[in-house]
């Protein structure tokens, strides 16, 4: 097996190059990396699509509509399989233009990525925050052999051309792999990766006993060329920790606290 040569890129190098004449959205990310919020400044008539409930504030006369974006069945797929909201909020700027502030439900970072038409993006559960109207979202089977443990078996696939805002729990890193290089990453720490990148998922340890001893569950094996964005904290681990210190959370006030912290997921 080839030795792994992993490069963690600086944040300003993470976004892929913008395709041709596609206009990049004007996005200002504040309060990184722990409590990031993004202000998207829109030109007259420009639209932003965002996760339901992601809006912090918006300027005067901004129009807001919510829909399933593609019909009820597509919305249900995205919600129940991909881990995103059933409804997507669409903000449209008035003739004078305007802005929208969006933020993730967990404390962490936000990164802006410019999507190429020739290079779709695979996004893991709960990490899509917003995107321009040139980006299409669908749900794709991620090849997971085991659906237990709360990490899910489906990915959100972003295609088209435009700007995508990704959010995470903790800070974001990027791992770049040259052709033939490999890296193993816990599924709970993966935010997004190139859709055409070679990847496989497996249990990190052989057998149930070893899996329990290691404290790890499923991992992704990625093979280059390509890149993977990771988050320094695992939302599933947060959920497990809260349940561990609140044994009655399923039947009392704890359930409300847990649901509020994790965005009802």
**pLDDT tens digits along 195-253:** 889 988 887 765 544 444 444 578 889 999 999 999 999 998 888 888 888 866 554 44
Question: What pLDDT does residue 1 have?
Answer: 40
Alpha carbons 115 and 246: distance in angstroms, whole number: 41
Q: With beta carbons less than 8 A apart as the criterion, state whether 98 and 58 touch.
A: yes
Low-confidence ranges of the chain (pLDDT < 70): 1-23, 68-86, 141-153, 205-216, 247-265
Residues in the chain: 265
Question: What pLDDT does residue 18 have?
Answer: 36
Question: What pLDDT does residue 75 have?
Answer: 45
Question: What pLDDT does residue 180 have?
Answer: 96
Q: Which two tokens stand for residue 105?
A: 């439900």
Question: What pLDDT does residue 80 have?
Answer: 46
Q: With beta carbons less than 8 A apart as the criterion, state whether 42 and 162 touch.
A: no
| Partners of residue 140 on adjacent β-strands | 155
- Domains in the chain: ranges and CATH: 15-260 (3.60.160.10)
Contacts of 72 (CB under 8 A, 6+ apart): none
Question: What pLDDT does residue 93 have?
Answer: 97
Question: What pLDDT does residue 70 have?
Answer: 55
Q: Residue ranges of the alpha helices (H) in the chain? A: 72-76, 207-214, 235-245, 253-261
The phi-psi region of residue 83 (left if phi > 0; otherwise alpha if psi is between -120 and 50; otherwise beta) is left
Alpha carbons 55 and 103: distance in angstroms, whole number: 7
Q: Which two tokens stand for residue 202?
A: 């497996």
Alpha carbons 10 and 201: distance in angstroms, whole number: 27
Alpha carbons 178 and 218: distance in angstroms, whole number: 24
Q: Please, how many CA atoms are within 13 Å of residue 211, restricted to the half-sphere of its CB?
A: 11
Q: What global pTM score does this model have?
A: 0.77
In the block, residue with structure tokens 């249990």: 203
Alpha carbons 159 and 118: distance in angstroms, whole number: 8
Q: 253-261 vs 235-245: helix axis angle to the nearest 10?
A: 160
Question: What pLDDT does residue 229 have?
Answer: 96
């Amino acid at each position: 097996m080839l030795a792994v040569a992993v490069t963690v890129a600086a944040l300003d190098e993470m976004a892929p190059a913008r395709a041709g004449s596609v206009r990049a959205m004007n996005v200002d990310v504040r309060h990184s990396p722990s409590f990031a919020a993004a202000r998207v400044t829109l030109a007259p008539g420009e639209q932003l699509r965002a996760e339901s409930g992601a809006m912090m504030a918006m300027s005067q006369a901004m129009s807001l509509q919510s829909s399933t974006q593609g019909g009820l069945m597509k919305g249900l797929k995205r919600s129940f399989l991909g881990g995103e909201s059933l409804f997507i909020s669409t903000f449209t700027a008035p003739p004078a233009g305007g802005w929208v502030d969006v933020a993730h439900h967990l404390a962490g970072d936000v990164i802006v990525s410019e999507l190429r038409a020739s290079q779709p993006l695979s996004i893991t559960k709960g990490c899509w925050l917003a995107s321009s109207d040139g980006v299409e979202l669908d749900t794709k089977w991620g090849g997971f052999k085991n659906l237990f443990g709360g990490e899910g078996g489906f990915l959100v696939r972003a295609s088209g051309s435009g700007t995508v805002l990704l959010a995470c729990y903790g800070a974001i890193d990027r791992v770049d792999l040259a052709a033939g290089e490999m890296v193993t990453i816990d599924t709970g720490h993966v935010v997004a990766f190139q859709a055409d990148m070679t990847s496989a998922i497996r249990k990190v340890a052989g057998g149930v006993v070893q899996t329990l001893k290691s404290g790890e569950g499923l991992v992704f094996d990625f093979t280059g060329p390509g890149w993977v964005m990771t988050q320094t904290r695992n939302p599933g681990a947060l959920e497990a920790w809260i349940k561990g210190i609140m044994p009655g959370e399923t039947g009392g006030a704890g359930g409300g606290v847990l649901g509020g912290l994790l965005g009802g997921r």
